[in-house]
A and B are shown apart, each in its own frame.
Chain A
Amino acid sequence: MNIVMAMFGAASQGLTWAILALGVYLTFRILNFADMSCEGSFALGGCISAVLIVKMGWNPYLTLIIATLAGMAAGFLTGFLHTKLKIPAILSGILTMIGLYSVNLRIMGQANTSLLGHKTTVSLLKDILPEASSLGMKDSTMQTWVTMGIGIVFSITVIALLYWCFGTEIGCCIRATGNNEVMVRAQGVNTDQMKTLGLIISNGLIAFSGALVTQSQGFADVKMGVGAIVIGLASIVIGEVMFQKPKNFAFRLFSIVIGSIIYRIIIAIVLQLGLNTDDLKLFTAVVVAIALSIPNLKKNKAYVRKGVN
């Protein structure tokens, strides 16, 4: 029973983290840009949301919007560093990430902020619904259900928005920019603008996810973004492996959400099996490294075989 409950909780957790994975997908797969700033903007979203709720008494839903806007600004900064100041992609992201660490500390004035006793997106919704006991379930179970519901609604909304966005003329240009910049410029598109736009959308989503995660876990921490890119990648890779890279874009985004849920379930299982939480990041890193290298190793094998013939 214990492990079932843990997996159930993990699934709802996976849904709140899924939007982070979608954001990472935009930069890593679509723009072909390994954007490290996501670690900073994830924590940024969480910190802003927590401070607005705790210190300013804002509506938790409203803080999601502010967090998203802040994330977009972070994305713009990375884009500016890369396209205007010509700093290499990976370094631009790292600079934003490092800078945001201090910014996040400044925002909170301390290393973490607890939301205990404050309204969150989850508790607001739970208040509207009937009492957990009257529905014949434990309060914590109810909490998980509501979190899951919110996660599903937000994930579907984001998928729909992204599907629309990347089907538009500008969206097509962003996709093409990640594919072949020379060609896109030859077709009269400012690729610098497209890259920046992609980073803005991606980091906006990631900060949104950070805010959502903060509210569902009940605290924000300046270190909450550490490893976010790897967690995002793990979700993407799991989704791709499970669904064999579906052709349809919406379905592909959907597979990432499923990937994120499965990642959380895997984590819940290995923790139940006795893995030390300290080793979790190492475990994730190894899994992602293996998953990312499999396609390349397969290619090499085929090449060697060809060479022998």
Chain B
Amino acid sequence: MLKITNLYKTFNPNTVNEKLVLNGLNLDLKDGDFVTIIGGNGAGKSTMLNMIAGVHFPDEGSIVLDGEDITYLPEYKRAKYLGRVFQDPMMGTAANMEIQENLALAYRRGKKRGLSWGITREEKELYVEKLKVLDLGLETRLTNKVGLLSGGQRQALTLLMAALQKPKLLLLDEHTAALDPKTAQKVLDLSEQIIAENSLTALMVTHNMKNAIQYGNRLIMMYEGRIIYDVSGEEKKKLHVSDLLEKFQSASGGEFANDRMILS
């Protein structure tokens, strides 16, 4: 359903800061795939997600989603196909607006927005139902400003918003990295639950190798702008963190995996 072909991207070309981030990336996703993505800093994981989302455009290559070439489609136009959760919990929601107003914005993703009232009564009932599933007590706080919520609550809300209009593809960009371990676990479980319930196709970037093995049906490892390891199904389930570390070391030519990866 998603086909990435020969994607190249260089940041700051022709300067001292020139950096090749995507180096002929290829990726083919099947419907219902839940793919976890790991790799060191600067491997191009987030850049790949940003290319799919339209934040940056590639120098070369193509991105085709469900038969439609979206390589150079503006970010706001392709948003109707995508659900996104960001690393920074502040990014996914509007802090000065109410919980229900945030949900109402997400509810209209991909729809024409006009001069009718921003939130209808029926919608509010729907939001209460949806928020109950989160089990964070947010269903009684519809008119609270999102800025009052904790990081974990905001990520949970962003997840809900991303799935409110079923996206073709859900992009999770290290969405638990800024949370404490317990909250991170909760948000991860919630992600899995939402993906399963709505049978979504999802890409999840993570720095945590255990999570990468535990969640999803397919795992890819990136290094220097391309995919160096791609494993799915039974083989993935049998993986251990040590296998991944070994893979990473052999790929990077003995260079040690960074601390963050070892510790996790």
Binding site for B on A (CB under 8 A): 167-173, 175-176, 179-180, 182-191
Contact = CB atoms under 8 A, between A and B. Distances in A.
A172 B108 CA distance: 11
Contacts of A167: 117-118
A169 B91 CA distance: 21
Nearest to B81: A188
B45 interface: no
B93 A180 contact: yes
B114 A168 contact: yes
B118 A169 contact: yes
Interface string B61-82: 0000000000000111101101
A188 B109 contact: yes
Given A172-B101, A175-B97, A184-B94, A189 B117 contact: no
B86 A188 contact: no
Contacts of B75: 185-186
B115 A169 contact: yes
A175 B113 CA distance: 14
A171 B79 CA distance: 19
B84 interface: yes
A171 B94 contact: no
Contact of B91 (A170, A175, A182, A188): A182
A306 to B, nearest CB: 18
Given A176-B105, A187-B79, A188-B80, A169 B92 contact: no
B116 A190 contact: no
Nearest to A180: B94
A170 B114 CA distance: 6
Interface of B: 53, 74-77, 79-80, 82, 84, 86, 90-97, 101-102, 104-106, 108-110, 113-119, 161
A187 B109 CA distance: 5
Given A167-B118, A179-B95, A180-B91, A173 B105 contact: yes
A186 B108 contact: no
Most buried by A among B84, B94, B96, B116: B94
30 contacts: A167-B118, A168-B118, A169-B115, A170-B114, A171-B118, A172-B97, A172-B105, A172-B118, A175-B94, A175-B97, A176-B97, A176-B101, A176-B105, A179-B97, A180-B90, A180-B91, A182-B86, A183-B91, A183-B92, A184-B105, A186-B82, A187-B79, A187-B106, A187-B108, A187-B161, A188-B77, A188-B80, A188-B109, A189-B76, A189-B79
Contacts of B105: 172-173, 176, 183-184, 187, 189
A39 to B, nearest CB: 27
B108 A183 contact: no
B164 to A, nearest CB: 10
Nearest to A171: B118
